[in-house]
Amino acid sequence: MTQSIVIQVGQCGNQIGCRFWDLALREHAAHNKSGVYDEALGSFFRNVDNRYEDLPNVDAGDTKTKIRSLKARAVMIDMEEGVVNEMVKGSVGELFDHRQLITDVSGCGNNWAVGHKLYGVQYRDHIIECVRRAAEQCDCLQCFFIIHSMGGGTGSGVGTSILSVLEDEFPEIYRFVTAVYPSSDDDVITSPYNSVLAMHQLTEHADCVMPIENQALHDICHKINQAFPSDKPGKRVAMATVGKVTTEGSLAAGAVKSRGGNPSAEEKPFDRMNNIVANLLLNLTSSSRFEGNLNVDLNEISTNLVPFPKLHYLVASQTPLYAVSDMHMPPRRLDQMFTDAFSRDHQLIRADPKNSLYLACGLICRGNLHVSDIRRNIDRLRPSLRFIHWNTDGWKTGLCSVPPVGQPYSLLALANNTCIRNTFTDLKDRFYRLYKRKAHMHHYTEVEGMEASQFAQSLESLTELISEYQELETMQPQEVPRLEAAS
């Protein structure tokens, strides 16, 4: 099987990453009962011998070997130390190789230029060294997953500078980005600047981008709380926290540590929101990690869902929706699950793809399903979905036999849909309200290497992107005259 490396940048990226590694361990612990290091584990984890300083891989030889000590295939970057230090001291801290941590102390001050032009340049060689070390420990590296926010300085600035580094140093490896967009009422005044400047880089250097909106995550968590209020006994099932991950011969020995019926006792403020994004990554990579009747490789996602190079923004939705303490929610009916995936309430951005145009759509199913179930639901939903005229059968489907923890099945939908332009238009409007007055621009242009022209270039890039989606939505099929045989 192939391997992937997760690069988590900034406070948001590292907090999501922390949830991802926690949930990935739980998922593999539920699937791997034998304590054997197998190919599924190898996709995101190394099995190392921690008796040595350089943490060499445990040689499995021709047979599978027992788990010695798991290390995440991860690079963690933040220009402040707090979040990364907290992760290292937390329940999954033993997963991380301290040589793969890159931190500073002063932060980026919510300034894209400081992150991209200052720290991105200053730490470029160090970042290359860490990524190359992680890549050399892979047998068949397929993808980099970059997780960062768009509104802050480190996530937007350093996060997007890494993209160009990866493109230069590893041009054949896919670059998938999970980018968290700020809410319209975000408390960072300069977040529209940071987001638009970062978007220019995402459009030019990423292979696939999965935009996530903070407000959409907040709305989803609110719906979960309404559906399963904590004061109703029996509705919630408190999940365990992961125990030691270094116990020889087991994946998560002593993994059950009850929260005593109070799921919020160990939760942090954004755990529930971050958990939804972490589950998106777990579902996306399920076919790369586990067996299935219809596996979908990550390269197939890019090949089938991105018809034009710059239109690589995929609108994600998943069902069932669950947060940290709700992973044993009552299961949805199978057909209802497919209906939910195309509803507005389950989108990870505030948009309604059913009222816009699909360029392509991917469905990644997990659990006790059959290919016939997927085909039946596609046929049922097809009349209510509008696909572009030259790709009316633009479906890519996958089926992984291993369900998520606590559920019999799940569905992740990835839509290349013109509804994304509404999100981008709103961001452009917020950017322009600052830009037309040149407000706060001096904080950016004071940074060495940052030119005022980059604001105009980024705005132009975003405008062109919106226009391309708009043109496709209004495109009408052209009748091609039939050839007639000469008499």
Which H, E and C letters describe the chain, residue by residue?
Answer: CCEEEEEEEHHHHHHHHHHHHHHHHHHHHHHCCCCEECHHHHCCEEEECCCCCCCCECCCCCCCEECCEEEECEEEEECCCHHHHHHHHCCCHHHCCHHHEEECCCCCCCCHHHHHHHHHHHCHHHHHHHHHHHHHCCCCEEEEEEEEECCCHHHHHHHHHHHHHHHHHCCCCEEEEEEEECCCCCCCCCHHHHHHHHHHHHHHHCCEEEEEEHHHHHHHHHHHHHHCCCCCCCCCCCCCCCCCCCCCCCCCCCCCCCCCCCCCCCCCCCHHHHHHHHHHHHHHCHHHHCCCCECCCHHHHHHHHCCCCCCCECEEEEECCCCHHHCCCCCCCHHHHHHHHCCHHHECCCCCHHHCEEEEEEEEEEECCCHHHHHHHHHHHHHHCEECCCCCCCEEEEEECCCCCCCCEEEEEEEEECCHHHHHHHHHHHHHHHHCCCCCHHHHHCCCCCCCHHHHHHHHHHHHHHHHHHHHHHCCCCCCCCCCCCC
pLDDT at 223: 84
Distance of alpha carbon 26 from alpha carbon 44, whole angstroms: 13
% of the chain residues with pLDDT over 90: 70
In the beta sheet, which residues pair with residue 147? 8, 178
Summarize pLDDT for 431-469 with one digit per residue, the tens. Answer: 999 999 999 999 999 999 999 999 999 999 999 999 999
Task: Encode pLDDT of 249-288 as tens digits.
Answer: 456 433 333 333 344 445 666 888 999 999 999 999 998 8
Residue 462 to residue 469: CA distance in whole angstroms: 11
Q: Which tokens belong to 257?
A: 């540590």
- Whether 3 has a pLDDT exceeding 70, the answer reads yes
Res 288: pLDDT: 87
Q: How far apart are CA 212 and CA 202, in angstroms?
A: 14
Summarised one tens digit per residue, pLDDT across range 157-187 is 999 999 999 999 999 999 999 999 999 888 8
C-alpha–C-alpha distance, residues 260 and 239, integer Å: 10
**How far, in Å, CA of 472 to CA of 340, rounded?**
26
Q: How does the average pLDDT of the chain come out, rounded?
A: 87
The Cβ-side half-sphere exposure at 6, using a 13 Å CA radius, reads 29
> What is the tens place of the pLDDT at every residue in 117-170?
999 999 999 999 999 999 999 999 999 999 999 999 999 999 999 999 999 999
Task: Write the pLDDT tens digit of every residue in 33-49.
Answer: 888 898 899 999 999 87
Which pLDDT value is given to residue 294? 87
Band (390; pLDDT cuts 50, 70, 90): very high
Per-residue confidence band for 328, with pLDDT thresholds at 50, 70 and 90: low
Sorted by sequence, the CB contacts under 8 Å of residue 233 that are 6+ apart come out as none
